[in-house]
Each structure stands twice: as structure tokens, then as C-alpha cells.
Structure 1
Amino acid sequence: MQIVYHLGVHFTDEERLLKCLLKNKGALANEGTAVPGPSRYRKLLRQTLFGLRGGPATRDQQQEILEAALEGEYAERIIFSAPNLLGNPGAMLRDGALYERAGERVASLCSIFPDAQNEFFIGLRNPATLLPVVPGSVEAPADFMQVLSTTDPRGLRWSDMVARIRGENPDVPLTIWCNEDTPLIWPQVLRELAAHDPLLALEGTNDFLASIMSREGMERMLVYMSTHPPATEVQRRRIVAAFLDKFAIPDEIEVELDLPGWDDALVDELTELYDEDVYQIEKMAGVNFIAP
């Protein structure tokens, strides 16, 4: 059995991946892939995760999760999507690092189904746009701001988090991508997450683009693709990029950067550091990086 965990990170695809996969639940089930609704497993997974205390889950615990998620159906591959399994968003800067316990959490998740093939999928986001959205989305914004005030954002590295995951879980398949690239690589992310037949056309593959592009832009892009079908994935991405450049909805792609002491110069610096950090991740052994 293959157990797939999509772990966010927080404030990346905003559940769009899960919603798209749920739209195709029946088609994917025919291929042996289960996409259970999140209410069936998120709380149960967290309860099991924190109850393990370093040991593997019992057969009864595993069976309880499978029964809740599958409702008696059989599946060879099960997709669980739950960003909070990495930790609460307000604690993403614990000890001055991004998801400091990520390696430990991934190891514990592998212990829930120790005999299964566990796979992990994580989308990253530029700290320059990620950190400003956290205070308005957590229960204790003052606590987060206190931690942020003592943390130099220039020192935050996603590659450190990935290294912690790889260090504690060297044999676990890990797929990484950048949230900023998601509009271009969306079909590939879905395909690798679900491991579906390449000939299976998933419903809702344009939903993400429709959420950040004007209706006129979407209509014109779809007409263009129908009359000029892209011969390769690279050509499709170039077309999407061209229409996004002209028809993207500003409010959907821009973030209000309202943090004390932050200015455009810092944002530019953080973005440059993020680009360099991503380049390092692309070269890391054991990482399947989805690039545009």
C-alpha cells in the first residue's frame, strides 16, 4: 500500500489540490487511488501522531484510520492532505527555523503505517510573502509577532527544513515545488500526487488558473489552446505564462506586506535569498523537485 501525505506548507495552494482531486475521486478510485474527504482523517491522524510517542502505530490504530478514510473500499494508494501535520501555522518559526520539527514529524507519520510505502509532497513559498499573511490567520498573532521580532528572516532557509526531513528519513520519497510556480506546473503536481494514468484527463485542472486569471483571459487562453494545441508540456507552460502575464487578477497574486520594519528593499533581498535557496534544494539528493 502507498500512503501519500501532502503537507502544505500552510498558505500555499489553499486546499485547491485536495479539492481538485476530490472532483476526480471516482476516476482515481478506478485506478486504485483513494482521495478521502479531510474530515474523515485529519483529526484522527493528528490524534494518532501525537499518541505514538516514538513507536509504531498498532494494527488496530492503522485499521481505524483505514476504515474511517476508505469506508470499506479497497485502495492501493491513499492521499492524505493535511498541512497541520507539520505543525500549527503560528508555530512555523519555532526556534527561529521554518518548521523546525519537520524531520521528526515526517518520521512519526511514517510510523503510522510502517509497512507501507510512505511518500511526502510539500509546496514551498517565498518567506517574503508567507510571513506577512500568518498574523492575520492564527489564533495568537501576538505570539507569532513576538517570535518574528527576534528572528532575522534573512536566515530562514527552506533547504534547512528539507535537509532535516532527508536526514531523519533518508529513504522516503520527497517531492518539492514552489507555490509561485503552481499555475504553470499544476497538471504535473496533480499527476505525481495521484500517480494517475497520463491519459486520464482530470476534471478541474483549470480551476487554479481560473482563480487567479480574469474570465476573459481564461476564455481566450482556452480558445487559443484549442486552435493551437501545445505539442509539449513546455509549450503549454509558455502559453499559460503568457496569458497570466496579461490577464492575472492583481488582488489574487499580490500580498499586502504589512509587517513592522519591512520595506521593499528587504522583500527584494528575501526574494533573492529564496531563489538561491530553491536552487540549492533542486540539487539535493533524494528530492524530486518539480520545476517549471
Structure 2
Amino acid sequence: MQVILHCGAHSTEEDRLLKTLLRNVDRFGDEGVAVPGPSQYRNLLKDGMARLLEQPGTPISATALWDQILDGRAAERVILSNPHFFGSQRRALDGHMLYPEAEARVRALQALFPADQLELHIAIRDPGGFVPGLLENAGPDRINTIATEISPQCLRWSDLFERLRQTAPEVAITTWCYEDMPILWGRILRSMAGLEDGARISGGMDLLASIMSGEGMRRLRQYLAQYDELSEAHRQRIFVAFLDKYALEDELVEEVDMPGWTEEMLEQATEMYDQDVARISQMDGVTLLSL
């Protein structure tokens, strides 16, 4: 069975993505794709992973796990979503690196489902926005500590992917940039479900609607209704054109307020992030969904 593990990352619209996946349960089910509710597996897998991390080799029945997760339903592909698959929000920057526990946790997931084909799906984000997003609910002391110890220019998503590829080269990775998600939303959903480009889904413009005026969305839907079929590339170009004209500017501006972080640091972080994305696009075993 194909097991799609949506691993976040944290603060990349992960909850909204799960909600949209769940809106498509019936549609995906017709294609043999199951989207269980998170209550059916998050605690179950958390406990199983904890046992394996503490005592590798602990016998855990994959059949019993699937019986509980799928509740007797048949599926060829299953989507499991949890931004904590790679570790908690608080531990995401330990050791001045992104998700230092990721490799051990992927090995644990492989041990839980040894007969299944695992794939990782994860959003990446400019560290200048990702780090503040991680700290959204943190206290002042925690924020000051991270702001002092972590430089956004030094965090590399490609380093995380290299570690994962070295640890589990048989586990493919699909990734996309948080900054592109309003345009890529439908493509991300189809990719996770293993559907062909252009396949009909519900909520394929959910995120776009959050940053575009109501008038713009109305006109966009009218425009799209003229076409029976559109390629993903054509659809994306249309989205970009309408967003250029009807974007809610306040929703596009991201204000970063981290003690000691300067505008120059953030500009450097974005420049390094762009270079990192280019590097990721060339990595073996990694698929980058892009505009």
C-alpha cells in the first residue's frame, strides 16, 4: 500500500490542507485513496513511534494498526497528516538545524509499516518567516533565546532532505514552497492523492480565496467555467493573472518581528532560501512542485 505522510512543516497551512483533504474523502475514496480522520491515527502512531524510538525492534503489528486506522475499509493509498511526524514544534530547531529528530522518526515509521511504500510530502518556507511562525505561541523568553541563537540565513531545507535521503533513500519526497501554496493548492492535493493533473477536486482554490477579493474570486470562477479542461500550467497562469489584479494586499504582507533580526538579515535569508530551493529542485528522489 502507498502511504503518503504529510509532515507539515509547522506553520505552512498544514491544518487547512488537512481540512481540504477531508472534504474530498468520498471523491478520493472512489479512486482507492483513504483519508482517515486524524483522531484515528495520530495518537496511535505517536505511541507506536515512541515505543520504537525507545526500544528499536519492538514488535508492533502493522495489520493491527491498519485495522484501527482504516476501520476495515480497503485502500490502495492512504494519506496520513501530522505536522509532528518529524518532532514537536518546540524541538524543530534543536541543534540549530531543521527537525533534528526527522531521520529517527522516519525509521520508526518504516518499522511501523515495513510492507508499505512510504512517501513524504512536506511544505518548506523561507526561514525568515518559518522561525517566527514556529514561535507564534511562544513566550518572550523563548522568542529571545531563539532570535539570539538562530540566524535565518543559516537554515537549509536541503540539509534536511539530504539527511532523509541518506537515512531512507527508498522513501521519496515531494515538496513545495509555502509562498507558492495559494497557486499550487489544487496541484498539491492531487499530488497527495495520486490523481492526474486537472482531476476534479473540492476546495482547489480554498487558499487562493483567502488572499483574493470576493469580486476577484467571482470573476475567476466565471472565467474558469468557460473551459472544460485546463492543464495545471495554464490554470496556474490564470491564477497568477487574477491574483495580480485582485489580491488583498494586506494578506500578502508578512511582518516579521524578531528581536535583533534586521531587514538585511531577512533579505539575505530570502536570497539563501531561493538558492536552497534551486538546489532542492536538482536532488535525486525529491520532487519539487513549483510554478
1:55 partner letter: P
Within 5 Å, give how 1:195-274 maps onto structure 2.
195-196=194-195, 200-227=199-226, 231-274=230-273
Distance 1:56 1:111, change over 3 A: farther
Which residue number in structure 1 is paired with residue 118 of structure 2? Answer: 118
Aligned to 2:166: 167
Aligned-partner SS, 1:98: coil
AA matched with 2:59: T
- TM-score normalised by structure 2 residue count: 0.92
Instruction: Indicate the SS of the match to 2:210.
Output: helix
**How many Å apart are 1:151 and its aligned residue?**
2.2
Cα distance in 1 for partners of 2:188, 2:249 equals 24
Distance 1:230 1:265, change over 3 A: farther
In structure 2, what is the equivalent of residue 58 of structure 1?
59
Which amino acid counterpart does residue 17 of structure 1 have in structure 2?
L
Instruction: Give the conservation status (yes or no) of the 8 Å contact 2:198–2:232.
Output: no
Higher alpha-carbon deviation: 69-78 or 278-287: 69-78
Within 2, Cα distance between the matches of 1:100 and 1:109? Answer: 16
1:126, CA displacement in angstroms? 0.6
Mapped contact 2:122–2:174 kept (Cα < 8 A): yes
SS of the counterpart of 1:75?
A: coil
The one-letter code matched in structure 1 to 2:108 is S
Partner Cα separation in structure 2 for residue 199 and residue 85 of structure 1: 29
Alignment check: 8 A CA contact 1:90 1:141 kept: no
* More off after superposition, 223-232 vs 143-152: 223-232
How many angstroms apart in 2 are the aligned matches of 1:251 and 1:11?
Answer: 19
The CA deviation at 1:59 is 4.9
Q: CA deviation at 1:152?
A: 2.4
CA RMSD, Structure 1 to Structure 2 (Å): 2.0
Is the 8 Å Cα contact of residues 56 and 112 (structure 1) preserved in structure 2? no
Instruction: Check whether the contact 1:56–1:114 (CA below 8 A) recurs between aligned residues.
Output: no
Report the equivalent of 1:24. Answer: 24
* 8 Å contact kept, 2:128–2:270: yes
- 1:48-87 alignment runs, 5 A limit: 48-53=48-53, 55=56, 58-60=59-61, 62-87=62-87
What residue is the counterpart of 2:39 in the other structure?
A: 39
Q: Quote the residue 1:275 is aligned against.
A: 274
Q: Tell me by how many angstroms 1:191 deviates.
A: 1.2
Alignment-derived partner of residue 287 in structure 1: 286
The alpha-carbon distance between structure 1 residues 59 and 86, as it changes in their structure 2 partners (threshold 3 A), is closer
SS in 2 for 1:255: coil
Determine the C-alpha separation between the residues in 2 that align with 1:197 and 1:291. Answer: 16
Q: Distance in 1 between matches of 2:144 and 2:106?
A: 27
Stretch moving more, 257-266 or 224-233: 224-233
Deviations 1:21-78 (A, max 9, x none): 2111112112211100111111111111111136356353x23432332122111111
Q: Which deviations, in whole Å up to 9, do the C-alpha atoms of 1:76-102 show, x marking residues without a partner? A: 111100011111112211001111222
Structure 1 residue 197, shift from structure 2 partner? 5.2
Deviations 1:202-246 (A, max 9, x none): 111121211221211111111122236774322211110121122
The alpha carbon displacement at 1:143 in A equals 3.2
Change (3 A) 1:279 1:197: closer
Which residue of the partner structure matches residue 3 of structure 1? 3
Q: Secondary structure at the match of 2:5?
A: strand
SS at structure 2 position matched to 1:218: helix
Q: Specify the alignment match of 2:183 in structure 1.
A: 184
Deviations 1:163-195 (A, max 9, x none): 111110111111111111112222221111011
Letter in 2 for 1:143: R
For 2:99, give the aligned amino acid. Y
Q: Which amino acid aligns with 2:71?
A: E
Aligned to 2:102: 102
| Distance change >3 Å, CA 98–CA 59, structure 1 → 2 | closer
Aligned length: 290
Q: Is the 8 A contact 2:124 2:176 kept in 1?
A: yes
Using the size of structure 1 for normalisation, the TM-score is 0.92
CA distance in structure 2 between the aligned counterparts of 1:75 and 1:229, rounded to whole angstroms? 30
